[in-house]
Homo-oligomer: A and B are copies of this chain.
Amino acid sequence: MNNLAGKLKLNGFSMPALLALVFLAAPGSVHTADFDILGFDQAGSLEQRAVEVQLDASINPKDLDEWLRKLSATPHHAGSAADKDNAEFIADLLKSWGFEVAIAEYEVLLPTPKIRELELLAPGSFTASLTEETLPEDPSTARRETLLPPYNAFSVDGEVEGELVFVNYGRPEDYEVLERNGIDVTGKIAIAKYGESWRGIKPKLAAEKGAIGTIIYSDPADDGYGAGDVYPKGPFKNDSGVQRGSVMDSPTYPGDVLTPGVGATTAARRLDREDAPTITKIPVLPISYRDALPLLAAMGGAVVPAEWRGDLPITYHFGPGPARVRLKVEFNWDMITIYNVIARLTGSTYPDEWVIRGNHYDGWNHGAADPLSGQVAMLAEAKAVAGLAARGHPPMRTIIYAAWDAEEPGLIGSTEWVEEHATELQQHTVAYLNTDGYSRGLVQVGGSHTLELFFNQILQEVYDPRIDVPLKERKHAYELVYAKDDKAKAEAKDRKELRIEPLGSGSDFTPFLQHLGIASANIAFGGEGEDGSYHTLYDTYEHFTTWQDPGLLYGVTLAKVAGRATLRLANAPRLPFEFNGFVDNIKLYVTELEELAEKQRTEAAETNQMIADGIYAAALDPNKTLGPPSKKEPVPFFNFAPLNNAVEHLETAAKAFSFAADEHATSSAEINQLLYSSEHLLTRKDGLDGRPWFKHFIYAPGFYTGYGVKTIPGVREAIEQKQYAKVDAQIELAAKVLESMAARIDQLAGLIAAPADQQTPVAGKDS
């Protein structure tokens, strides 16, 4: 790590300084890759940076503040009048800046709560309030006429009565602990903490294990008083706050539950609701820790392990019972109309190549942080981009800004639009850039690793708004200071490029990336704006601007980062995809898979040996319920050779590509089409085993983690889920998509290195 002091500060360039640089740059030189923007030659880089200086100057924090205040004035869930008003407000803004704006409407199933009842039947009695308190300190919380009360969208209707079992976070490993303690949830109601896994996994797994209902609560240890002061004194969850959210089985497919794979137009064929596989199997209800306390306090059974304990002032027990509860939920299963705002700025040179940039606008409540913080940053960016066009700097490619509706209930707006326009989107889309709510802190970029170097350049040029260092340097420094182990420390020290994260799910990039195979990225900030307001009544303008991003400094920075990404993708003569970073990440995943298999193999063997040797019988406390683990299925050896061969091929191809790309600025419509469609090679038409909607073989949300990503998911989940017989075939499939990517990179290297006269020159030093 270099000294951060005295670094060239690019985002602070004045125009005269930029002009000076023009003279410094020797004309005709092609070996200036460190300064050149990926995909641009030297002159183009200077021109592009000049455009970006104007971009930055056009982003006005007062705009963000005004729009945020306006759009978050009242609760505005998908299907509400307030939500439609917001769509129209956004559409009008975009129109006023010169975009061609269309509203794409879909008819989708969206349940809202009708009956929500939860009571403790014994011992004692207690009726849960299921209500969030209005706070005098935050006037927004009083504007609650259109407020949906706390619920989990796509819970099935139902009334159940039974004993409670505490299942910690309700993850697969939690059920292993229950099993070792002799506890079965069959016929019981599971009470789970929010967190650690995506909420939809909790009822899914509880139902698979035989539970008849699920209650989810936010423990104060996670985002309440245990984490910090509670709202309004601090940013964390007060005792009435409840996290709403969808529990549809989105790792099977997201979007409208009735129209998987097709756009939910009026004419679309629909499943019967009873047949929709992504609605939960058992009723679910989210509650506050105030409502959870009497239920948990009434529980008995063995005391839970230390790692399971929360911060309520009680002893946590597994159950089952004696606490017995009745849970009833019933919903209005209405068909509603949703509205995506689609704004187009046609490219001056390549109108049929589209850069799509999206952020949803529907919120569970006021939604100031989620999603409006990201939405207003995107609007500021769109205004600046339109302004540049109006001032004679139109994008060379078409830019489409999309404000998605109904993301909260299950990525519905984006998914339906993507499903409807699948073919043309695959043909034309260069990349999809997503944002969503953000918070204060470190930059977070996830996405296709062919864009890793591209983003690293941007993050080196945009500065943190509170600390005078580039975003990239700050993140590198953060990773060094907070490295969890020697491996992480070595990576933070030695890896020049910031690793961008692979994408799981949880926002609107999913249909683009994982259904269509369009290169995508998600950009955010976070980690320092503490928050317990997520999906509660308290996600207000007041909360966000007090506790998360006062002055909207990071909103402005987000617009600078995403704006640069959008414009560079729109203007680059040769699209800025790069493959060394991609291969380095793939190598990491393959190594992880081999290590995972080896670890699972060793653990199974050791555990079985220890069981056979009577070690557990001798070691475990006979007065406790914790028993030995069950005997493990031995883990066979797998043939990782196809993956390793593919990596080898990829590595050679990526090096050849870099060599060619460094030497030649060659570009052409064919090269660009081959570049942006390369991501599609990572998909397979049949999709993943058991969930055909997900077609990407490198990135997928985990079947049992939800938002959490599983890289090379076919292989990884087969190993994790102990479906050992499937592993070798899944390795073959993953290797095949990587081999076709390698072939594509080879082809591109050849095209770029070929003599200029065999190319269709578009721009570049060779022409």
Instruction: Tell me the A residues contacting B by CB distance below 8 Å.
Output: 1-5, 220, 225-230, 234, 236, 303, 306, 309, 311-315, 440-441, 466-467, 469, 473-474, 477-478, 480-482, 528, 610, 612-624
Contacts and interface: CB of A to CB of B under 8 A. Distances in A.
Contacts of A3: 612-614
27 contacts: A1-B610, A2-B613, A3-B612, A4-B613, A4-B617, A5-B614, A226-B309, A226-B315, A227-B306, A229-B303, A230-B315, A234-B315, A312-B313, A440-B623, A466-B622, A466-B623, A467-B617, A467-B618, A467-B622, A474-B619, A477-B615, A477-B619, A480-B619, A481-B615, A481-B620, A482-B619, A528-B623
B618 A313 contact: no
Given A220-B313, A480-B610, A228 B622 contact: no
Contacts of A612: 3
Nearest to A289: B313
Contacts of A313: 220, 225, 311-313
A482 B620 CA distance: 10
Closest 6 CB pairs of A and B: A477-B618, A477-B619, A481-B619, A478-B619, A4-B614, A313-B313
A427 to B, nearest CB: 43
Contact of A481 (B306, B473, B481, B616): B616
A300 to B, nearest CB: 9
A665 to B, nearest CB: 34
A469 B1 contact: no
A528 B619 CA distance: 11
Copies in the complex: 2
Contacts of A312: 313
Contacts of A230: 315
A4 B315 contact: no
A621 B528 contact: yes
A623 B529 CA distance: 9
Nearest to A629: B481
A618 B473 contact: yes
Contact of A621 (B1, B226, B441, B613): B441
Contacts of A315: 225-230, 234, 236
Nearest to A473: B618
A225 B303 CA distance: 10
Given A5-B614, A469-B614, A480-B615, 11 more contacts: A1-B610, A4-B614, A226-B309, A441-B621, A467-B617, A467-B618, A469-B618, A474-B618, A474-B619, A477-B619, A528-B621
A619 B464 CA distance: 11
Nearest to A441: B621
A227 B528 CA distance: 31
A443 to B, nearest CB: 13
Q: In this complex, which of A478, A618, A621 has the most chain B Cβ atoms within 10 angstroms of its Cβ?
A: A618
A474 B481 CA distance: 41
Nearest to A550: B623
A281 B620 CA distance: 45
Given A1-B615, A469-B618, A481 B225 contact: no
A313 B230 CA distance: 12
Contacts of A220: 313
Contacts of A620: 481
Contacts of A226: 309, 315
A620 B313 CA distance: 32
Nearest to A606: B489
Q: In this complex, which of A440, A469, A480, A482 has the most chain B Cβ atoms within 10 angstroms of its Cβ?
A: A480
Contacts of A466: 622-623
A236 B309 CA distance: 15
A225 B312 CA distance: 10
A237 to B, nearest CB: 12
Nearest to A618: B477
A314 B225 CA distance: 6
A225 B220 CA distance: 16
Contacts of A619: 474, 477-478, 480-482
Contacts of A617: 4, 467
A624 B235 CA distance: 14
A4 B466 CA distance: 63
A276 to B, nearest CB: 41
Nearest to A616: B481
A225 B480 CA distance: 37
Contacts of A622: 466-467
A620 B282 CA distance: 45
A620 to B, nearest CB: 7
A635 B617 CA distance: 47
A2 B616 CA distance: 13
A466 B623 CA distance: 9
A352 to B, nearest CB: 43
A482 to B, nearest CB: 7
B528 A613 contact: no
Contacts of A441: 621
A312 B1 CA distance: 42
Contacts of A309: 226, 311
A615 to B, nearest CB: 5
A306 to B, nearest CB: 8
A725 to B, nearest CB: 31
A425 B138 CA distance: 75
A528 B621 CA distance: 7
Contacts of A5: 614
A303 B613 contact: no
A22 to B, nearest CB: 30
Nearest to A4: B614
Contacts of A236: 315
A4 to B, nearest CB: 4
